[in-house]
Chains A and B, each alone.
Chain A
Amino acid sequence: QSVLTHPPSASGTPGQRVTISCSGSSSNIGSNTVNWYQQLPGTAPKVLIYSNNQRPSGVPDRFSGSKSGTSASLAISGLQSEDEADYYCAAWDDSLNGYVFGTGTKVTVL
């Protein structure tokens, strides 16, 4: 049940800034915290941002998150080749009583 929407793809050259949006509703992003996950090819997802804008230890400060109303965004500054991955937002949904993920955005480094 992908009720959070992302653009399917985003791209940039090394060093550029890329922003990925995540659109939800009042029952998910509007009332709960947003988390972002990075999934490198062939690997399990890894948390990148939690509680809207917090970075776990070990995640470079090139990654930042923000939330406003029923939308959230992930920004990657100083894009690097190792950032090529799929990125997903997620939040708890109070109406569905479950987590909902975004549709996923594939980031390509040109």
Chain B
Amino acid sequence: EVQLVESGGGLVQPGGSLRLSCAASGFTFSNYWMNWVRQAPGKGLEWVANIQQDGSEKYYVDSVKGRFTISRDNAKNSLYLQMNSLRAEDTAVYYCARERSYGHGFDYWGQGTLVTVSS
């Protein structure tokens, strides 16, 4: 059974940093593109970033470029999102999602982890 379990969310002050993790199981992690998608309270879904199977290719939404870094460790079946210079507008539930194949959407999602940026 495919499972994606996010962790690392919490309360952080504006300008602070946080690192999210996503532990994957039930499939060959190194075969898939992986993504982070977020949802601000009461709002819609927003794609944040994705990363190729070997980590060589990465893409980001404009609003996080230069502040967030997506990475992965295939030996640990884990996906990460390093978030720096956090802003109030980054407050959201962050979901880890497996990409069916490049450009073809997400077939499995984690349960999400809440990040709150507030003083």
Given the known interface contacts A1-B61, A45-B95, the answer about A35 and B46 at a Cβ–Cβ threshold of 8 Å is no
Given the known interface contacts A1-B46, A45-B45, A46-B109, the answer about A51 and B61 at a Cβ–Cβ threshold of 8 Å is no
Q: How far is the CB of A10 from chain B (nearest CB, A)?
A: 15
B 26-63 binary contact with A (CB < 8 Å = 1; else 0): 00000000010100000011110010000000011111
> How far is B60's CA from A91's CA once the two chains are assembled, in angstroms?
15
The size bracket of the interface on B is 20 to 34
Given the known interface contacts A1-B61, A44-B111, A46-B109, the answer about A92 and B103 at a Cβ–Cβ threshold of 8 Å is yes
Chain B's interface: helix, strand, loop or mixed, by majority?
Answer: strand
Contact A1–B45 (Cβ < 8 Å): no
Chain A's interface: helix, strand, loop or mixed, by majority?
Answer: strand
Which B residues are within 8 Å of any A CB, using their own CB?
A: 35, 37, 44-47, 50, 59-63, 95, 100, 103-112
Which A residues are within 8 Å of any B CB, using their own CB?
A: 1-2, 32-33, 35, 37, 39, 44-47, 50-51, 56, 86, 88, 90-92, 96-104
